[in-house]
Amino acid sequence: MTKRILIAGVSFAAVLALAMAGLALSTWSSVNRVSIERPSQAVAPEAPSAVDQMGVQEALDPDEKRLGTDVLLLVGSDSRSDLGDLEGFGDFEGTRADVVMVVIRTPDDTAVMSLPRDLLVEDVCSGDQKRLSTMLEGCGEEYNGATLLTVTVEGLIGHPVDHFALVDLAGFQSAVDAVGGYEICVDNPVRDSKANLELPAGCTKASGEQTLAWLRSRFTQELTDDGWQIMAGVNDLARNERQRVFLIDMMAELSDFSSPQAVAATASAIAPFVTVDTELTLTEAVDLAWALRAMDEGTVQQLDVPVYDYTTEAGAAVLLASIPVDEIVAGFLSTQTAGEPAMAVG
């Protein structure tokens, strides 16, 4: 079994959708909580520029958000090796973010943005440049992992994050299995030994474990007339695209439940594997549930972050954004302000 997890959004939305059912309160109480505590004088980092010069901006005040805009930070983490032990899950000790997604919801539109886990950012604790994925480790008693990752993402996107949600491996796989699997279609047989991936040609109603392997795979091979070959275009960005499409597809699945009881059964199984920020109330969860479960490829904007390879002085292979992430977000929000259709970047 793989050791990482993906896609906070699907499990988070399933739990939120529970608010529409009679068992909402009891299931909501099963969700783990974590505090996002922004120091009054904190700074939020920006990604390095093309010439590797770091800029630092003042921390964003979450009370000064754009009216009518909600920003959700959805995270998948490799937080636990012992999936049967729930104790300390919210502490984020020794964890890394395998998936970082931002959902931006305005009164007129919704956008989803995937932030590559290998994006180079500044660690506000040490001042060092590190991968975005490592921010979930936090820095001792000064910042827990949720806070450090949230502040870092706020610096990248140039906008306050309203709420944080994280799901672990068991929660992710349970979510897929609870809705009857996820359809993956490929022209040829595919495999990736590092991700425990093996699928036949055609369409497969994949289990949670198979889906996780497909979304994690960075070295997907397909069987051609010339033998096993790396699939064209497979890289970390392709993986981000798979994850983003998956999130949208799974949100659509949530809208097809036949009854509130069916939603309740799904969410009840997933709730213990989900962590949300302490400020998220059940009332807000009701609103978010309706918004997230209505997502599909025809109604959500997909915002791409173009990147290029970069090697640090220490020899680490990372990614740099070729367009500042906050400019991409600002472009989306400006079209909302002007009342124009938003266009995805990329």
For 94-131, the pLDDT digits (tens) are: 477 888 989 898 888 889 898 988 999 999 888 889 99
Is residue 65 located within the same domain as residue 212?
no
Q: Per-residue pLDDT averaged across 29-39, rounded?
A: 84
Is residue 253 located within the same domain as residue 298?
yes
Is residue 157 located within the same domain as residue 253?
yes
pLDDT tens-digit map of 165-175:
888 766 777 77
Is residue 227 located within the same domain as residue 255?
no
Residue 325 lies in a domain: yes
Residue 119 lies in a domain: yes
Is residue 229 located within the same domain as residue 277?
no
Residue 3 lies in a domain: no
Paired tokens of 66: 């754009």
Is residue 158 located within the same domain as residue 277?
yes
Is residue 163 located within the same domain as residue 185?
no
Q: Per-residue pLDDT averaged across 6-28, rounded?
A: 55
- How would you classify the pairing of strands 202-206 and 163-167? unpaired
Q: Is residue 62 classed exposed, middle or buried when 0-12, 13-18 and 19+ CB atoms within 10 A define those classes?
A: middle
Is residue 17 located within the same domain as residue 28?
yes
Q: Which domain holds residue 156?
A: 8-174+237-337
Is residue 135 located within the same domain as residue 207?
no
pLDDT greater than 60 at residue 154: yes
Cβ proximity of 118 and 132 under 8 Å: yes
Is residue 75 located within the same domain as residue 220?
no
Is residue 145 located within the same domain as residue 245?
yes
pLDDT greater than 90 at residue 37: no
Instruction: Report the CATH number at residue 281.
Output: 3.40.630.190
- Ranges 187-201, 210-224, 233-247, 259-273: which has the least confidence: 259-273
Paired tokens of 304: 């791409």
Q: Per-residue pLDDT averaged across 189-199, rounded?
A: 92
Domain count, the chain: 2
Is residue 304 located within the same domain as residue 218?
no
Residue 345 lies in a domain: no
The residue that leads in pLDDT, 270 or 338, is 270
Residue 300 lies in a domain: yes
First-to-last CA distance in the chain? 34
pLDDT tens-digit map of 209-234:
899 888 878 889 999 999 999 987 77
